[in-house]
């Protein structure tokens, strides 16, 4: 049998029924706190519980495209603002019993977004909201989404170390102080302002000066700060290492 004949005779339904979905751990910073996009499920199973935005991958759609579509549907984002959101694959979750309906393998994605307007519910949810990560500890999420969020957060903390993705939480032009606030928020730890400043400017390609400064000083005083934009580096070298205190003790969630 040649390849042509083989394909003509091939029956896709001969294989076990598995569904593939994408889920999105979308992070942003609001009011100085890390927030996560959640929807309240409007349908069974787990109706009423909070869950990650996500859904089935369409037949002609790439995985990351599906993730961006789901994100767009829940945030109302489109065009240039949507393009500025960073989306990357996080990991896949496929325990046989993770969904009571059937075998569902979910390709989780991680997204970094600048401060966005309030979320708007999509079709299969009656509520979508940015929820402060700090308030998540006592809230139960649907399916294994609690684990996915934990993995996503650890990945985010880790990505700030060796990529310039912290800038994706900010407007195109930002000050070093704003960038430091991103690190402090995601890592949950104060950083030494002077050392951070020195380090950021010394890593090639991390940020580049716009030549301009802010119009006014900060709300609580201080001089006008210089403005920077993201540089062209895709990896930071040398990296901005987290204080030893903040790194994970085990490795399970680290990729």
Partner DNA sequence: CTAGGTTATTCTCAAGTCGAGATGTTCTCA
Partner DNA sequence: TGAGAACATCTCGACTTGAGAATAACCTAG
Positions 142 through 181 that interact with a copy of itself (CB under 8 A): 163
| Residue number, 153 or 179, with CB nearest to DNA | 179
Phi first, then psi: give them for residue 73, nearest 5 degrees: -60, -35
Span from 34-42, 85-93, 129-137, 192-200 in contact with a copy of itself (CB under 8 A): 85-93
d(CA 71, CA 24) in angstroms, rounded, equals 7
Decide which of a copy of itself, DNA, none touches 56; Cβ closer than 5 to 8 Å per partner kind: a copy of itself
Span from 3-11, 35-43, 96-104, 195-203 in contact with DNA (CB under 7 A): 195-203
Q: Is 203 in the site for a copy of itself (CB under 8 A)?
A: no
| Residue number, 163 or 175, with CB nearest to a copy of itself | 163
C-alpha angle 160/68/63, rounded to 5°? 95
| Residue number, 215 or 232, with CB nearest to a copy of itself | 232
3-class DSSP assignment, residue 217: coil
d(CA 2, CA 253) in angstroms, rounded, equals 44
**Nearest CA-CA partner of 96 in 44, 19, 148:** 19
- Sequence-ordered strand ranges (E) for 80-141: 86-93, 104-112, 125-132
Terminal C-alpha separation, the chain:
42
Exactly one of 61, 80, 88, 127 is catalytic; which is it? 127
In the list 2, 123, 137, 195, the residue contacting a copy of itself (rule: CB under 8 A) is: 2
d(CA 106, CA 94) in angstroms, rounded, equals 6
3-class DSSP assignment, residue 242: coil
Span from 93-101, 118-126, 130-138, 238-246 in contact with DNA (CB under 7 A): 238-246
Span from 24-32, 71-79, 97-105, 134-142 in contact with a copy of itself (CB under 8 A): 97-105
Phi first, then psi: give them for residue 197, nearest 5 degrees: -55, -50
**Nearest CA-CA partner of 211 in 173, 156, 253:** 173
**Nearest CA-CA partner of 227 in 170, 159, 168, 169:** 170
Q: Is 255 in the site for DNA (CB under 7 A)?
A: no
Q: Is residue 127 annotated as a catalytic residue, yes or no?
A: yes
Q: Is 237 in the site for a copy of itself (CB under 8 A)?
A: yes
Q: Is 197 in the site for DNA (CB under 7 A)?
A: yes
3-class DSSP assignment, residue 112: strand
| Residue number, 3 or 80, with CB nearest to a copy of itself | 3
DSSP designation for 241: P
Decide which of DNA, a copy of itself, none touches 205; Cβ closer than 5 to 8 Å per partner kind: none
Active-site positions?
A: 127
Residues that bind a copy of itself (CB under 8 A): 1-3, 6-7, 10, 12-13, 15-20, 44-47, 56-63, 88-89, 91-92, 94-96, 100-103, 105, 107, 163, 234-235, 237-238, 241, 244, 247-251, 254-255
């Amino acid at each position: 049998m040649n390849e042509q004949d083989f394909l003509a005779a091939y029956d896709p339904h001969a294989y076990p029924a598995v569904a593939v979905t994408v889920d999105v751990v979308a992070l942003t910073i609001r009011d100085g706190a890390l927030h996560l996009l959640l929807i309240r499920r409007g349908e069974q199973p787990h109706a009423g519980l909070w869950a990650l935005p996500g859904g089935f991958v369409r037949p002609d759609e790439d995985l990351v495209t599906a993730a961006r579509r789901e994100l767009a549907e829940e945030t109302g984002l489109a065009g240039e603002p949507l393009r500025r959101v960073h989306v990357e694959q996080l990991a896949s979750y496929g325990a046989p019993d993770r969904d009571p309906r059937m075998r569902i393998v979910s390709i989780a994605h991680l997204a970094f977004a600048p401060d966005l307007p309030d979320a708007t519910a999509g079709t299969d949810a009656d509520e979508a909201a940015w929820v402060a990560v700090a308030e998540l500890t006592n809230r139960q999420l649907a399916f294994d989404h609690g684990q996915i969020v934990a993995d996503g957060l650890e990945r985010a903390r880790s990505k700030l170390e060796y990529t310039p993705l912290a800038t994706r939480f900010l407007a195109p032009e930002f000050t070093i102080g704003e960038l430091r606030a991103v690190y402090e928020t995601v890592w949950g730890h104060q950083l030494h302002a002077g050392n951070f400043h020195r380090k950021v400017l010394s890593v090639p390609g991390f940020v580049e000066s716009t030549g301009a400064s802010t119009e006014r000083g900060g709300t609580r005083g201080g001089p006008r700060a210089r403005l920077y934009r993201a540089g062209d580096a895709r990896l930071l070298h040398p990296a901005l290492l987290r204080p030893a205190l903040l790194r994970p003790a085990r490795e399970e969630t680290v990729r």
